[in-house]
Amino acid sequence: MLYSLFAPMWRTNDTLRKLLKEVLGYNDAEITQMESEHFCRNVANNLTIEQAKDITKIFSDNDFQIYLNDGRGSEGAIAWNQLGIDWADEPPKDHYCDKPLVSREQLADLSIPKKIDPPIKESLFNTKPVIECPYCHSVDTKKITSASKVVNTAIFGILGTKRYKQWHCNNCNSDF
């Protein structure tokens, strides 16, 4: 079975850029593209388990977590310790590979855009609900207060119409 490596790396730094170049063989333009996508994607495909272990060990020694992937994107990511594989931490080195551990064909296809969740708009959290009048469809409405309902019931008794209504339309003066 061949595997992919999934990298949910939100922070990039010089060490990560160096590892991507030295260990995997990415160039500067490809790394910049991954950074612009917030770097949560497969970074290598069609790997043997041994290749995946070697690459993951190097990234792990530098405090970057990479997951083994069974081909289903982020849903298929498996942490190495889930497979019972734990390795001793070694201090980071200045140099790991003279040539990348994978071929160019095994690198992620960056021409396929990564699915990016739409940004959350601040206005979603700062808006009031818009209530529309069912009669004239105006949104110029206001909530009928409890005090207003009590006064209406005191004046008109049980025949008061505001007792069961919640909103008042300022356009057509109806209560609903």
CA 102 to chain centre: 28
Return the residue matching tokens 């080195």.
93
pLDDT < 50: residue spans in the chain: 120, 123-124
The pLDDT of residue 75 is 59
- Of 59, 46, 57, 48, the C-alpha closest to 18 is 59
Q: Using CA atoms, how far apart are residues 141 and 172, in angstroms rounded to an integer?
A: 10
Report how far residue 115's alpha carbon sits from residue 64's, in angstroms, rounded to the nearest whole number.
22
What is the distance between the alpha carbons of residues 142 and 144, in angstroms, rounded to a whole number?
6
Q: What is the pLDDT of residues 17-59, one digit of tens each?
A: 888 888 888 888 888 888 777 667 778 888 888 888 888 888 8
Say whether pTM exceeds 0.75. no
